[in-house]
Structure formats: structure tokens, C-alpha cells
Amino acid sequence: MVLRLEKITIKYGDLTIFENFSLEIPEQKVTCILGPSGCGKTTLLSIIGRILQPNHGHLIDFENKTISYLFQDLRLLDWKTVSGNLDFVLKDIYPDEERAKKINYYLKMVGLLKFRDYYPKSLSGGMKQRLAIARAFAYPSNILLMDEPFKALDLLLKMTLINDFVQLWLNDLRTVVFVTHDIEEALLAADQIYLFSKPPVRIIKALSLNIPRKGRTSQETCFVALKQELYHTIMLGENDTISVLP
């Protein structure tokens, strides 16, 4: 099943971001929106998250879908402990015993269980990122929206955190919409990639990745080829194409 944005139009004064724009998002898959800064990626998340109402058009099959977020700036609660940050988003959802089990499960999944009583100020940057990822997955949403959460990280930390994200997602196949400007992030994390043009936005390229998760390393031949394909599409501004990869 797919979720759909149908003939969406968003305008800010004389600036048109989307005009009669349509997009399909497969459920229980990771869909990545790839494109340069200012191409409407975050605006798209705001539409899906019902923060922004389009001028025209509508969302199809998004009714009654709950949403969680993973932001670039993390938005951790500094006055709450590591476990308290998860407890804060779960306290009105689960009874005490079940909530404690879920908190322990997600903290263990990201390697933070022994740091459960620490405060965010005592954590490294990577540990803070792991906490934010755990909190996003702990909340029982149907859709997870990710707004460049791995931006400005060094390469090794980025690869580690993407792996943490993928492992959590494999244990909880929810619908993810992930925006980034980084081609490598998109190829490592996504099942479906849409490459956006500058506004008014159109889809320059759509890639469906049927590559096993275990085969996704930056050294794999197919990975390098896909990275080059996306890079050249961005640089050359090719006509709309669709590639379905073996």
C-alpha cells in the first residue's frame, strides 16, 4: 500500500515551491527525498506532518496516521535523563511496567542502557544522536519523519548512526520519510529515492533500491555506480527518468 500526495501546490507570495505536485510513499519502507538546500524537502515534511496546509491538493490515506520526528537539532530535553527523554514521550501511552520495558529495549538497541541515568550534557555528540533515534522509534508512530538528522557529522559517526537507524527500522518496519542532501546517506538508508529539482519542484529521478541491506557499503560496485548516476543527474540536470535497480 502507498500513501499519496495528490496535486499539491504551495506558494509563498510570488515563490512557488510545489505546483500540482504528486508523490507516492510506500508504506513500511524508507523513502528518501534527495536534493539541494531550498528545494522543498523540509516543506514536504511539514505537509506530511500536518504542520503546513497546502494551498491546493490533498493527502490520500494519511488519515489517522500517527507521526514521530527525528530532527537535525535533536531537541533533547536537557533536564531529563537519558531514560527520562524516552519516558517523556511514552508516559501517556503505556502503563509503568510496559513503558519501562520499552525504554530498556530501545536504549539497549542503541547501546545506551548503561547510560540511562545520565543527562544529555554528559553525552558525546554520537550518544545524543543515538538517544534521539531511540526516542523517535520508541514513540509508537505509523510514520517517522527525518529531517537531515546526520548532517554535519564526521564520516565514521555518520555510518555508525545510519547502521543504528537501519537496525531499529528492520525490527520495526514503519513508514519513514527521510530528507537529505547527501547521496551516500540516501543510498545507505533508503528503499526508494526521489531526487528533487529546485522550486517549483519536480522529480528529476526516482530510484527503487532492491539491494539487500547487508550489501550496502560504500565500497560495493553497485553502490559506487548508483552514487555516480545520482551525482551526474544532479550536475547535468537530466530529463525525468525512472531506474529500477536489480
Domain ranges of the chain: 2-66+141-244, 78-140
For the chain, state the CA radius of gyration: 18
Burial class (CB in 10 A: 0-12, 13-18, 19+), 31: buried
CA 100 and chain centroid, separation: 26
Class of domain 2-66+141-244: alpha beta
* Residue-level length of the chain: 246
pLDDT score of 193: 95
d(CA 55, CA 40): 15
Per-residue pLDDT at 215: 60
Query: Angle CA(194)–CA(31)–CA(47) in degrees, nearest 5?
Result: 85
The pLDDT value recorded for residue 237 is 59
- Answer positive or negative: Cα dihedral of 129, 131, 137, 141: negative
pLDDT at 239: 46
What is the pTM (predicted TM-score) of this model?
A: 0.88
pLDDT at 214: 67
Strand partners, 144: 68, 176
Ranges of the chain whose pLDDT falls below 70: 214-215, 218, 236-246
